[in-house]
Amino acid sequence: MLLVVTYSRAARQTLRNVCNAHEESVVRRLGRAAMFEESAMGAFLGLRLREKHGADVQLERTVPFNEFETVGEEVRSAAAAYESREHPSTPYAKFAAGTDHPSPDALRGRDLTEDGRD
């Protein structure tokens, strides 16, 4: 999908107008941002916005997230385990210490991959 983020009042207003006028090309509205369908129409709308508002419009293309492809089992199970922790106030760093779960630093240092292998 195409992610459009606006950074000024005027650009935000134009985005609203565009979203109202082209509902069929808008996948989701997120306040001052929106996701457009990945079509030439979506691109056209995004480019029009940037043409009008320059640096106050950011256009990005998003990639679907598949955790089975982009992160290892270790990361998935760490997330699941942390969310079912006993004490909600335990920070992740403390939770992970002394276990097989990766430390916050290890997580930060690891890029996403395409095949799920670490």
Partner 1 sequence: MPIVDGERGRAFDLRDSEYEVAAVAAAIRSNSDDDSDASDDSPLTVRCPEPGEIHDHVGIVEPDRSYPLQTALAEVARVRGHESSVDEALADVREELAALDLPSVSLEAKRRQVAETDDAAGLEEQVATLRGELEAAKDRGEDPAALADARERAVADLTERRTERLAAEQSLERARTDAREARDRREERLRLQDRERNLERDARRELAGELQSSFERALSALGACGSGAVDGASDGYGANDSDVVSDRYGASDANAPASVDGPDAIGALAVCRIAPISAPVVVAGEWFASATAAAAALDAPVILVEA
Q: Contact with partner 1 (CB under 8 A): which of 23, 24, 40, 55?
A: 55
The pair of structure tokens assigned to 69 is 């492809």
40 binds partner 1 (CB under 8 A): no
CB of 110 to partner 1, least distance (A): 19
- Tell me the C-alpha to C-alpha distance, in Å, between residue 72 and each of 69, 76, 77: 8, 7, 9
Give the shortest CB-8-to-partner 1 separation in angstroms: 6
Does position 12 interact with partner 1 (CB under 8 A)? The reply is yes
Tokens 């079509």 correspond to: 39
The answer to whether 9 contacts partner 1 (rule: CB under 8 A) is yes
Contacts of the segment 13-22: beta carbons below 8 A, 24+ positions apart: 14/49, 14/52, 14/53, 15/49, 15/57, 18/45, 18/48, 18/49
The secondary structure of residue 7, as a DSSP letter, is -
Site string for partner 1, 58-97 (x = CB under 8 A): x---------------------------------------
Binding site for partner 1 (CB under 8 A): 5, 7-9, 12, 32, 54-56, 58
